[in-house]
Amino acid sequence: MKRKSKPRPRDEEPKISIIERKIPFFLISRHILRGNKWTLCLVILLMAVAFINLVFINSLFNGIVESSDNQVINTTSGNITMQQSPGKEFIDNASGVLAQIRKTPRVVGASSRTVVPASLLYKNLQGTYQIYAVQPSLERLTTNIARKMIAGSYLSDSDTDSIVIGRQIAGGKGVEMNATSFKGAKVGQKISLVMGDAIKEFTIKGIFYTKYFEADRQAFITQKALDTMQPFYANRTTNIIIRTQKKGDEAPVISSLKEEIPDGQFITWKEASGLMKSVTNSFLTINALLTSVGFIIAAVVIFIIVYVDISNKRRQIGIFRAIGIKSYLVSSTYILQSTIYSVVGVAIGSIIYFAIIIPYFKVHPFKIPLGDVSLFVNYIDFMWRAVTIIVVSILSGMIPAILATRKPILDEIAGR
């Protein structure tokens, strides 16, 4: 039987049809089903590792910043610190001010911390540390020092001759700042508080260890002990530490406090963090730099993977074009391929990250002088990174794919 003759070519103009758009999906599904499984796994694993690298560094720095922020709040400044008004040496009527603060909405605790201008003398070693007089029952509501005792116990309100000191003051073998410490002071031993001409002997009631080096260089006596030693301090203090319900409540609480105590000087933990602020800012800068480098590495890795893959299939690309498969469909195949690689890589990377890496570092945190650091995931940031790496992958696949389909067909077939 003779064939029917075909319509003239000029009668059929090329159009982009819905039907032809199945070609990339068809080709990529066959590539995944029948291609080299090891290569496919390796490529996806590489993508997953590139993604984990990107989020791990970020989470680590977020963890360091989060840990140091929490340490500042929990051990030294609370969420808000009230300081003496300019020109004044003390906050007078401390008990009245404390009562007023505790009534403020979203405040869960407030305690006075009076700076004791004194030095400590242990055996023949004398040192100047941060010494505070506190009301222990109130202090427990604002900081976690009382829960960080590694020897002995915390102060009680009635103590008048007891002192608790940080591990960096007590010193001993393995203590980071042993050189400037008491090199092994123990609970039950005596320490003298030297305040001008007055000297008073205290018994070490407890030693605490917050893992935050600045907090661990603090020593605490009770306000009652200070009042006994220097009655001048009665109902006066230098700082009041305020704890809010949650981080982020600082601004509205300060604004409420200012209405109640107009001449009060309130600073947030961020403002009080001082040295820590510059440390965390440095970490954020390093994080941004490493993130950029991570993106470049991920992009280059993906580009190389797709480029090598396309280079190995140049002849096939040429053949496809020669038999009439439109160039955009051929390049779409490789763009779809890099999209699938990156989406699956990010998904697998996320599973590994949340199921293995984060739980592991929760149990085995990094130990740094700011405290124990585990990974802290900012979910918006995480999503942003996932989307960015997918977009970078698509672009990395798009460039060699489009370049490959712009070459002359015969060069592609010949692999030139």
Whether the CB-CB separation of 122 and 187 falls below 8 Å is answered with no
Closest approach of other proteins to the CB of residue 26, in Å = 7
* 243 vs 321 by CB, closer to other proteins: 321
**Interface residue list for other proteins (CB under 8 A):** 2-3, 5-14, 17, 19-20, 22-23, 26-27, 30-31, 33-35, 315-316, 319-327, 329, 408-410, 413
> Which tokens hold the place of 242?
């305020």
Nearest distance from C-beta of residue 28 to other proteins, angstroms: 10
Residue type, 293: V
CB of 343: closest distance to other proteins in angstroms?
20
Long-range contacts formed by 13-16: CB under 8 A, 24+ apart: 16/326, 16/328
**What minimum distance in Å lies between the beta carbon of 36 and other proteins?**
10
Q: How far apart are CA 89 and CA 94, in angstroms?
A: 13
122 neighbors 182 (Cβ within 8 angstroms): yes
CB of 42 to other proteins, least distance (A): 17
Question: Residue 87: what residue type?
Answer: G
Nearer to other proteins, 214 or 412 (CB): 412
Burial of residue 282 (number of CB atoms within 10 Å: 0-12, 13-18, 19+): exposed
Torsion of CA 195, 199, 203, 209, to 10 degrees: 20
Q: For other proteins, give the closer residue by CB, 1 or 179.
A: 1
In the chain the first and final C-alpha atoms are separated, in Å, by: 43
Least CB distance from residue 338 to other proteins, whole Å? 17
Number of Cβ within a 10 Å radius of residue 302: 26
CB atoms closer than 10 angstroms to residue 255: 10
Residue (13 or 197) nearer to other proteins, CB: 13
- For the chain, how long is the longest CA-to-CA vector? 123
Distance CA 386, CA 382 (A): 6
Instruction: Please identify, using beta-carbon distances, which residue of 103 and 315 lies nearer to other proteins.
Output: 315
- Cα 374 to chain centroid distance, Å, stands at 8
Q: Smallest distance from the beta carbon of 302 to other proteins, in angstroms? A: 21
Give the shortest CB-319-to-other proteins separation in angstroms. Answer: 4
Burial grade of 185 (CB within 10 A; 0-12, 13-18, 19 or more): buried
